[in-house]
Structure 1
């Protein structure tokens, strides 16, 4: 966490200039940074997904949408047409299952294996009682 209290993790499917509040940051000509991928991601799967999406966009001549040169932590909620990124592993898994391009890119066997492992991870996470839950719900 920064001294400002911001995590700098993107929340919206957006892009903008030299601004860490966007999913895609474009700090200079000929350079971009995908802020969606972090150390928790499986790098090879993330790269495959990014390449597949990029090639699909090129092949179908898709628009990247509007560039936002705004601080999305401060003003993001004002742009009601922007999609938000999943806020939990469960949301992310459900989004992946609905994404035909990514499911096709992974292939049926790899997608099933990945989803099985990640749903097991989600179930294990939910089986734990956290210290927050103890302090919130149990009067000692």
Structure 2
């Protein structure tokens, strides 16, 4: 069956290109060449599948290592901010009453900080892109996002 398909493909391509029919030895030579190429491609396919399987295993191992590292990082936040607040800071959550230190630990360094010292307290605004956080005496009292 495969030989018939190869023969048909060859003859159809030779008709399209205007080539004349092959002699038996030329045909056999072309057929052997195609069979060898097919064997090489099958071998290459097997090797590629083996590489793919190996990469899948490596990906699973890396996913597990990433999960472990993320858990360890979260535990560092728990160690620093306690069981109640550590996971929230790690997940970049915000809430009224959180400290400036917690926001910096979760969100990183702000783009800009404005500070006003008054008789009734220290008021600070932290800017992260279009979000502004408002602190009074180091505790978050509100936030807003520009639209």
What TM-score does the superposition give when structure 1 sets the normalisation length? 0.25
Considering Cα pairs closer than 8 Å and 6+ residues apart, tell me whether 1 or 2 has the greater RCO: 1
Rg comparison, structure with higher value: 2
Report which of the two has the higher share of strand.
2
Report which of the two has the higher share of helix.
2
